[in-house]
Amino acid sequence: MLGIELVTVLVMGAALACVSDTTSEGISGTQFDFAWKYPKLPPPAQYGNILISRLTDSSTHPPVAFSHWIHRRFYTCRVCHFELNFAMKTNASDITEAAIRKGDYCGACHNGKIAFGINDSTCGNCHTGKISSSDDRFSLLKDFPKTRYGDEIDWVKALKKGLITPKQSLFYPDYEPVPFEKILRLETERGMSETRAIFPHQKHSDWLDCADCHPGIFNIQKKGTQRFRMGSINSGMFCGVCHLTVAFPVLDCRRCHPDLN
């Protein structure tokens, strides 16, 4: 029964994907079998890829390709979004070629030692102007545990199984994240228990620094987040900062809402 319903949703989803730029999915057979509209997901190899074009749109060098899945195999989010000060928003950091050559931003690694450096033969590695630059390497992930959406990689399992051991710090080899086992159960202001979302701190601090979320995205007071609803999340706030773009996307309802059935 459930199997048939899921198949229907998949088929309808596929049909929808062909004719429109949006996709939507609720939980089949429940009162949540409606749905919010989400922008159509890119192909798995391009989920989490961005084109940095703050300066390069109008210059002789095309925009710069950056792929999250290429990098997160080796580095946690914390390395770039805490130690190296990259913003969690495309084109929001003041990256310049001069800063990179000085060793800031991409230049902390792209220095000819950790990864290819900046010289006349490498300009085109980064300035590709294409979001699809790393497509042909995506098969590197073919043996990783799978999920259904986004890059379709289950990074939680990949980490747990030791398939990857991303560095926590570029500067302090012994850095270990603060252990934080607490799993929060979040509730809507209206308090529907079946829509309760879980928030496992540890599965986040495996990747992120506390300061990546506190206090910028979430204040640290117990149940302190105001207007905490799917609508806000879908518009890029709160969980939506990461779960629309880089971490598994919000379409994967049950990973956050285990009680929805």
Site for ligand HEC in 196-255 (CB under 6 A): 196-201, 203-205, 207-208, 210, 212-214, 217-218, 220, 222-225, 228-231, 233, 238-239, 241-243, 245-248, 250-253, 255
**Candidate residues 42, 54, 145, 175; the one interacting with ligand HEC per rule CB under 6 A:** 54
Coil/strand/helix, residue 9: helix
Using the structure block, give the residue that is written with the tokens 């607490």: 182
**Candidate residues 28, 125, 132, 169; the one interacting with ligand HEC per rule CB under 6 A:** 125
Q: In this structure, how many other beta carbons lie within 10 angstroms of the beta carbon of residue 150? A: 23
- Judged by CB under 6 A, the number of residues near ligand HEC is 111
Cβ closer to ligand HEC: 46 or 134? 134
Binding residues among 76-105 for ligand HEC as defined by CB under 6 A: 77, 79-81, 84, 86-93, 95-98, 100, 105
Question: What is the closest distance, in whole angstroms, from the C-beta atom of residue 21 to ligand HEC in the complex?
Answer: 17
Indicate whether 51 belongs to the interface with ligand HEC (CB under 6 A): no
Binding residues among 147-186 for ligand HEC as defined by CB under 6 A: 155-156, 170, 178, 180, 184, 186
Q: In this structure, how many other beta carbons lie within 10 angstroms of the beta carbon of residue 67? A: 21
String of contacts with ligand HEC for each residue 5-24, x by CB under 6 A: --------------------
Indicate whether 187 belongs to the interface with ligand HEC (CB under 6 A): yes
Q: Give the HSE-up count for residue 257: Cα atoms under 13 Å, Cβ half-sphere.
A: 20
Question: What is the closest distance, in whole angstroms, from the C-beta atom of residue 198 to ligand HEC in the complex?
Answer: 5
Question: What is the closest distance, in whole angstroms, from the C-beta atom of residue 40 to ligand HEC in the complex?
Answer: 14
Cβ atoms of 36 and 214 closer than 8 Å: no
Q: Give the HSE-up count for residue 4: Cα atoms under 13 Å, Cβ half-sphere.
A: 1
Mark the segment that binds ligand HEC (CB under 6 A) among 7-15, 39-47, 71-79.
71-79
Q: In this structure, how many other beta carbons lie within 10 angstroms of the beta carbon of residue 100? A: 19
Mark the segment that binds ligand HEC (CB under 6 A) among 7-15, 39-47, 116-124.
116-124
Indicate whether 69 belongs to the interface with ligand HEC (CB under 6 A): no
Q: Which residues contact 26 (CB under 8 A, 6 or more apart)?
A: 32, 33, 34, 35, 253
CA distance 219 to 236: 17
* Residue 251: Cβ-neighbour burial (10 angstroms; 0-12, 13-18, 19+): buried
Question: What is the closest distance, in whole angstroms, from the C-beta atom of residue 141 to ligand HEC in the complex?
Answer: 11
Q: In this structure, how many other beta carbons lie within 10 angstroms of the beta carbon of residue 198? A: 14
Q: Which two tokens stand for residue 109?
A: 């690694």
